[in-house]
A and B are shown apart, each in its own frame.
Chain A
């Protein structure tokens, strides 16, 4: 799998990923002598970033942090590459003056600790060789101002007990996505719906697979209700903004955003 971002600091490097979902301050937040994260606000506090591909959301703190990165590079305690969700001046400056390859605009939730990756900052991408991409569809069914969400049963293979739209895998050589979406709705809910629009695909990580989810919006007839089978235990018609109150499958809110429901 190849994820495209934006080059910040040139170069290429291979290494194992270490992920910090939050923001990182290099001055005070990292011990430059050992290359260990010491900021207790960071999830990876206590772990070494030396020789790793360090993926974190963004930089924060003192501008002296740029020099700290440089010092780490010279003491061989620096990361071999840096991946950010969105770059800012301090870390970008530090990476460039130290010659550490860096890219940003990468969704770091698609990476996992210990993924073995190759960062090609010159071309602005990161390769995750052992991770495959699979396609799937998710259909949000709308009825007046509400949308349908379904609770996945305890018998399904993944995301047991979490709320989702109607979804299904696309096998190779499958029919076109829109037809597949309608068929999936009929199989899972016995409803006959019309597809109104599709949204930009969304990527979500599940162990060694990155799902490329193709979102569809469908319209149900006014009096139609789903008939659910073993795959789901419950269903609800909710206002789109209520999605944040449910324990959903990853990125269901993004699916709804891309369908302009949020």
Chain B
């Protein structure tokens, strides 16, 4: 692999241990995936923020690294935003999060902030806080944001892990392999959809296709026959990324790279509505949800306002909770909608979501419309929820008195 003189110096430790270690990681990954060189990135999204997901092991690493950077006077070199935490950093007590969890969570958060990372705490940085442009190279972790940035925006990023994204933030570089290269962004399978999904069916479609395509060894699907909105694509991509590590897809006539996405004759698979309805039976369990949780990935302005419309002037049932997760940026721009939902008795959470917060300590069953949440919430080792997977309107109706 070719390294410039400056990159060699960074690797040799001339800029200190924090930069050296980060550089060693980037170079090693470049070697593993046979990159020819390193390229600059215009932004980074780090994962590994929730104490629930990274535990004491992650906390220890991040605090040590922050300490080392502080001693060496180093900060991140490019615009860097961070994933959601395990709680709303202001309203954690209302969520029922215990003090020990909250303290450890705040230590992680502060360590990242001390590195110069923006306190965005969202999985949707592409709403207002970290908006990539077409063709830009990024080093993003958070699989749903990776999918959105690649597919909907046409920026270029691999699925980074916590340490590799941090290393890119510190060096401003990533190795040029995978989705940074044009040839790996071509579709390898065509998915023909012969019905018109609503946003709920998009989430189910993604949940179904992610695992199906992975079993087939396919990485980049090309959709034909659908006209999804941006919210639909967020739901579709997040679900496919969760169940099948799909990091890029194309939609004929919609996504920015669809025209150059097909080179050869590709295998075609057909999906009809019946197949998706059948699949939903496995996702939607028979239980009465104690919590209705919307916003995985974090709700957009449109989604937030739609919920506000539905609950305006209504009263919440005493025996159920409503959580709507959004980024701080979206909440601040939609204070009226937030107030309506809070007057109703719902909780508008910033900084977190139902998947990465310790909901298993308080709830046993959750209603969601997210194909990603429906995948993670039932996991025994993670959230232990009985999941109802229903359309947004049904879920909101369940919580209205």
Whether B31 pairs with A6 at a CB distance below 8 angstroms is yes
CA distance A96 to B32 in the complex (A): 13
CA distance A96 to B53 in the complex (A): 21
| 0 or 1 for each of A98-135: is its CB under 8 Å from B? (1 = yes) | 00000010000000000000000000000000000000
Residue A247 at the B interface, CB < 8 A?
no
Surface stretch bound by A, among B56-64, B84-92, B128-136 = B56-64
With a cutoff of 8 Å between Cβ atoms, the chain A residues found around residue B53 in the complex are 64
Residue A68 at the B interface, CB < 8 A?
yes
Residue B28 at the A interface, CB < 8 A?
yes
Residue B369 at the A interface, CB < 8 A?
no
| 0 or 1 for each of B1-31: is its CB under 8 Å from A? (1 = yes) | 0000000000000000000010011001101
Nearest residue in A to B161 (C-beta to C-beta)?
A: A63
Whether B161 pairs with A97 at a CB distance below 8 angstroms is no
With a cutoff of 8 Å between Cβ atoms, the chain B residues found around residue A32 in the complex are 57
Partner of B29 from the list A28, A64, A89, A94 (CB cut-off 8 Å) is A89
Number of residues from A at the complex interface, CB < 8 A? 25
Whether A67 pairs with B28 at a CB distance below 8 angstroms is no
Whether A97 pairs with B32 at a CB distance below 8 angstroms is no
Partner of B25 from the list A6, A64, A97 (CB cut-off 8 Å) is A97
Whether B55 pairs with A67 at a CB distance below 8 angstroms is yes
Known A64-B54, A71-B60; judge A8-B31 contact (CB<8 A): yes
Whether A90 pairs with B25 at a CB distance below 8 angstroms is no
Known A28-B381, A64-B54; judge A10-B61 contact (CB<8 A): no
Residue A93 at the B interface, CB < 8 A?
yes
With a cutoff of 8 Å between Cβ atoms, the chain B residues found around residue A92 in the complex are 25, 28-29, 32
With a cutoff of 8 Å between Cβ atoms, the chain B residues found around residue A89 in the complex are 29, 32, 161, 164
Nearest residue in B to A95 (C-beta to C-beta)?
A: B28
Whether A71 pairs with B57 at a CB distance below 8 angstroms is yes
With a cutoff of 8 Å between Cβ atoms, the chain A residues found around residue B58 in the complex are 64, 67
Residue B48 at the A interface, CB < 8 A?
yes
With a cutoff of 8 Å between Cβ atoms, the chain B residues found around residue A70 in the complex are 57, 60-61
CA distance A203 to B313 in the complex (A): 77
Whether B25 pairs with A93 at a CB distance below 8 angstroms is yes
CA distance A93 to B21 in the complex (A): 10
With a cutoff of 8 Å between Cβ atoms, the chain A residues found around residue B47 in the complex are 63
Partner of B21 from the list A64, A74, A97 (CB cut-off 8 Å) is A97
Q: Can you list 16 A-B pairs, Cβ within 8 angstroms, ordered by A?
A: A8-B32, A10-B24, A32-B57, A67-B48, A67-B163, A68-B57, A70-B60, A71-B61, A74-B60, A89-B32, A90-B161, A92-B28, A92-B32, A93-B29, A96-B24, A104-B32
A-B pairs, top 8 by smallest CB distance, nearest first, are A71-B57, A63-B161, A67-B57, A67-B58, A93-B163, A70-B61, A96-B25, A68-B57
